[in-house]
Chain A
Amino acid sequence: MLEVKDLQKSYEKDKPALKDISFNIKPGTFVAIIGPSGAGKTTILRSLNQLIKDDNGQILLDGNDIRTANKTQLRKYRRQIGMVFQNYNLVERLTVIENVLHGRLGYKSTLAGVFGRYTQEEKEEAMSLLKKVGLENFALQRCSELSGGQKQRVGIARSLIQHPKVILCDEPITSLDPASAQNVMELLKNLTEEYNLICIANLHQINMAKMYADQIIGIRKGRLVFDEAATYYQRIL
């Protein structure tokens, strides 16, 4: 269960980017956050794993407040929260499987991580996740040689190997062509059900949100303007 209460953030004084954002999400829910560009979607998502330090409020993951965690605790929270980016944010020069294994770094000792020593189980899991996202034949390919849709699926596999409770997706399909976009949304939706995840995706496309999301949160100018189950939203539109 992810509970967000009264989240506040302003980058500059007297210009709040987020005001009093509150919502709850149950496991196994695919959530779409929609809103115009500059509304504050990225700020919400990055507050959830504290890449951005918000100013005030509560973020409870299974009852524990992430905001008050110290450095070590924060690393433990972060490895339970996967993140998928609009521009994939892969190490383009490394191979697909190496990028997937990066998701394990949060679980490793600093030294093992620095030298990239992974266990056999981790490698096998990486292979099986690549299979799940349909890239088992690309394991040794350099990421720079992949198409956008393939890169995004590597990003998803990287977040899955973290064994996450939550996956945050910041505009996961904005840079993709329509077919790859559908593909990625379908994958995210299925994974949410299969692993009982909380999956939160920032989207501009309302039709995509309606098609795939279980819950839709609307943001405008840093304020929450609605938070409804998707079926209700579909009915009134």
Chain B
Amino acid sequence: MTDSQDSIIQKSKLPNSPEIKLHERSLSRTMILVVFVSLLLITGYTLTHLDTAGVQINQALKELMTTLNQMFLQPNAGTDGLPLLMEALGNSVLLSILTTIIGAVFGFLFAVLASKNLTNAYLGAGIRVIMAVIRAIPTIIWALIFSIVCGLGTTAAILGLSFHSIAYLTKAYSESIEGIDNAKIESLKVTGAKFWVIVFQAIWPTIVASFVSWTFIRLEINFANAIAVGAAAGAGGIGYQLFVASGMSFDFHETGLIVYLVILVTFVLEFIAVKIRQYYLNR
């Protein structure tokens, strides 16, 4: 593109074309429009064909209000008692920490091997495809698959959560690694440094802040997943208590307390994440 500097001072002339266009047809504008319109049409179609099982919406909303009222305004520990709920909560937190550690360790190794600027293209592409497939399977299904192999329980839950974590973190970390300036890697390569030396002396210090960021994001996701797996795969923890209270004994007061406990934990996790991120960003 050239700046036509000479014409700056020229006297202005009115253009002779009567109709002045404000923009041309561009692929990006058209694409945005097409995608939005299609999604809205699909939404319209789905909503008008939605199966409501003959439920009276007004009636159901009224019931929902009662339930929410019981949950959020009159929470209590129910028949299980607070100590049991706290223990279950602790187990879920531990579960999410453990699976995040597994995810972070393996995720980093795979990310190094999958990053385009570090390894050969075939190995990288292979790992990326496998990880995409693993990520495509929902965590809950991973947990159920593992419970076929090693029985319903904690081990299946940990493996299920770990699998998804590894796949997720591999992608996140390798995107951070691929963002590194190539000169940094080359300058160590020319000193004759070994591959893993480069990784831990150049790559690691550069991405540590975003590594920590992503890991804590995953910790929050894993806590949510630990609850889901506990509920839907009977893997114990606070998720299971939540499932029993809300779906079997219909004690919505207890459900409310459990939800409050869960929200409290997520706030604490978020708070810790922010603090640690700040610490690493300020160094």
Contacts and interface: CB of A to CB of B under 8 A. Distances in A.
Contacts of A94: 23
Contacts of A129: 12
B3 A131 contact: no
Contacts of A147: 1, 3
| Chain A contact residues: helix, strand, loop or mixed | helix
Nearest to B26: A142
Interface in A60-113: 93-95, 97-98, 101
Q: How many residues of A sit at the interface, in one of the four size bands?
A: 20 to 34
Contact of A131 (B1, B10, B21, B22): B10
Q: How many residues of B sit at the interface, in one of the four size bands?
A: 20 to 34
B7 interface: yes
Interface string B1-24: 101111111101111001011111
B5 A132 contact: no
A98 B22 contact: yes
Contact of B24 (A128, A140, A146): A140
A97 to B, nearest CB: 6
Nearest to B20: A123
Contact of A134 (B8, B23, B28): B8
Contacts of A124: 14-15, 20
A120 interface: yes
A136 interface: yes
A127 interface: yes
Interface of A: 93-95, 97-98, 101, 116, 118, 120, 123-124, 126-129, 131-137, 140, 142, 145-147, 149-150, 180, 183, 186-187, 190
7 contacts: A97-B22, A123-B20, A127-B20, A134-B5, A142-B26, A146-B1, A147-B1
Given A94-B23, A132-B12, A190-B9, 18 more contacts: A93-B28, A97-B20, A97-B22, A98-B23, A116-B22, A118-B22, A120-B20, A123-B20, A124-B14, A124-B20, A133-B8, A134-B4, A134-B6, A136-B7, A140-B23, A150-B1, A183-B3, A183-B5
Interface of B: 1, 3-10, 12-15, 18, 20-24, 26, 28
